Homo-oligomer: A and B are copies of this chain.
């Protein structure tokens, strides 16, 4: 009987190619750009993570340049020669070409210039093609680096990865903003967060994390909202105070940014990313933050329970002026604005042991200590007018014993978007979902 054995072929890395100077190689890729010059042409090949400059000359190639088209996929045989004027110090002189596929028609959007020069709407409408642009796709290499950096940190710190259900019977943040649907005759919802499940799993594994999709039926059509996004969640047991959660977040961001700098230097340069300093992050209480905003920007505060987007920006600005930090932890949010599972401050029961992390003017994380005591949680649910019976399986963990614990959720797209100083979060979502957009 025929058998299959494990074989993995990988494209040559740039280093492997460079080591072949003076020799011939075969490489695969898409033709990103053809630039006809006088007497020769540059043919730029797009590969998984790099672009390679090839030179076509009719006297050395055994095919006609007309056989190649932009966005054709090809296998090319080439001679690798030194070329001081090329960015890499070498270039490929084309010898043979095998065309593997041809596009039906040229892209309706110019994708092979430095930037894709169209409106955001068009950029997103043609996402499968516009992502082929060098800069557009680099954004998602950065996202990969950040997300992998977080994951490596979690694993090293003993957090266990979990996969929690996205089809749920109740929302973690309460009734609003939930997508609902019929689930075999029952009403089901899409999970707004893995909150309930990650807490339950602290009772099992002490420290857990999940990087996965969450869903919010928010009607806000703003530059900072997505209706589906990737949430980086962690939850940890045996904490002594909620500072520990902020300490872990600081370490986690530091670790991810270091990983990014080690592994994604080309993308960092291409996108001209300013890596923020995160050795220490200032902390301010919510009330004091409000007062500083009022005082420093002559602003009348109308809502003492929450920030509006403008206030987050002003706070960031003030913190930056005062401390030079692009991050700030805001703590002790009013209990009224935090979910029922947030632990109230025993010293100031109107405030919670919770925090947000604001990065360059945008909230990227919400976290805090949770209630672990059954009676305390029961009381808080009742005070909020919520039915205990609706939370029976959630309360099971409190009933049968839980350690003191807390955690956080970080919006991956928001984090990347601020890192890249984009003016709209949609640029950091591969296929964004907003109130208008369901395709591609």
Other-chain contact of A401, B102, B179, B243, B281 (Cβ < 8 Å): B102
**Contact between B401 and A204 (Cβ–Cβ < 8 Å)?**
no
| A372 interface residue per 8 A CB criterion | yes
Query: Given known contacts A165-B431, A250-B6, is B440 in contact with A200 (CB within 8 Å)?
Result: yes
Interface size classification for chain A? 35 or more
Chain B contacts for A255, CB-based, 8 A: 6
Chain B contacts for A105, CB-based, 8 A: 399-400
How far does the Cβ of A346 sit from chain B's closest Cβ, in whole Å? 15
Query: Given known contacts A104-B375, A167-B438, is B144 in contact with A161 (CB within 8 Å)?
Result: yes
How far does the Cβ of A40 sit from chain B's closest Cβ, in whole Å? 24
Query: Which residues of chain A from 275 to 289 have any CB-CB distance to chain B below 8 Å in the complex?
Result: 278-284
How far does the Cβ of A225 sit from chain B's closest Cβ, in whole Å? 12
**Contact between A72 and B280 (Cβ–Cβ < 8 Å)?**
no
Query: Which residues of chain A from 1 to 35 have any CB-CB distance to chain B below 8 Å in the complex?
Result: 1-11, 28, 30
Other-chain contact of A126, B72, B137, B252, B396 (Cβ < 8 Å): B396
| A261 interface residue per 8 A CB criterion | no
How far does the Cβ of A174 sit from chain B's closest Cβ, in whole Å? 17
Chain B contacts for A183, CB-based, 8 A: 179, 227, 438
Report the bound CA distance from A157 to B243 in whole Å. Answer: 39
**Contact between B431 and A30 (Cβ–Cβ < 8 Å)?**
no
Query: Which residues of chain A from 237 to 264 have any CB-CB distance to chain B below 8 Å in the complex?
Result: 237-238, 243-244, 246-248, 250-255
Query: Which residues of chain A from 383 to 406 have any CB-CB distance to chain B below 8 Å in the complex?
Result: 392-394, 396-404
Chain B contacts for A64, CB-based, 8 A: none
Chain B contacts for A230, CB-based, 8 A: 163
In the complex, the chain B residue whose C-beta lies closest to that of A374 is B104
Report the bound CA distance from A14 to B204 in whole Å. Answer: 18
How far does the Cβ of A191 sit from chain B's closest Cβ, in whole Å? 9
| A339 interface residue per 8 A CB criterion | no
**Contact between B399 and A104 (Cβ–Cβ < 8 Å)?**
yes
Other-chain contact of A161, B6, B72, B147, B243 (Cβ < 8 Å): B147
**Contact between A48 and B401 (Cβ–Cβ < 8 Å)?**
no
| A89 interface residue per 8 A CB criterion | no
**Contact between A101 and B372 (Cβ–Cβ < 8 Å)?**
yes
Query: Which residues of chain A from 201 to 220 have any CB-CB distance to chain B below 8 Å in the complex?
Result: 201, 203-207, 212-213, 215, 219
| A223 interface residue per 8 A CB criterion | no
**Contact between B403 and A129 (Cβ–Cβ < 8 Å)?**
no
A-B contacts, 17 of them at CB < 8 A, read A1-B283, A7-B251, A8-B157, A28-B403, A30-B401, A47-B206, A48-B160, A73-B238, A100-B403, A100-B404, A101-B401, A107-B400, A140-B162, A143-B163, A165-B213, A181-B182, A201-B430
- Please list the residues of chain A having a beta carbon within 8 angstroms of any beta carbon in chain B: 1-11, 28, 30, 47-49, 71-73, 75, 100-107, 126-129, 131-132, 137, 140-141, 143-144, 147-148, 155, 157-158, 160-169, 179-184, 186, 188, 190, 197, 200-201, 203-207, 212-213, 215, 219, 227-228, 230, 237-238, 243-244, 246-248, 250-255, 278-284, 322-323, 329, 372-375, 392-394, 396-404, 412, 430-431, 433, 435-436, 438-440
Q: Please give 17 more A-B residue pairs, beta carbons under 8 A apart, in addition to A101-B372, A104-B375, A148-B161.
A: A1-B323, A6-B247, A6-B254, A28-B238, A28-B403, A49-B158, A101-B401, A106-B400, A128-B204, A137-B204, A141-B160, A163-B412, A167-B179, A181-B182, A200-B440, A213-B213, A393-B440
Q: Which 10 A-B pairs have the closest CB atoms?
A: A6-B251, A393-B440, A103-B401, A71-B401, A181-B181, A73-B403, A6-B250, A7-B247, A48-B206, A104-B374
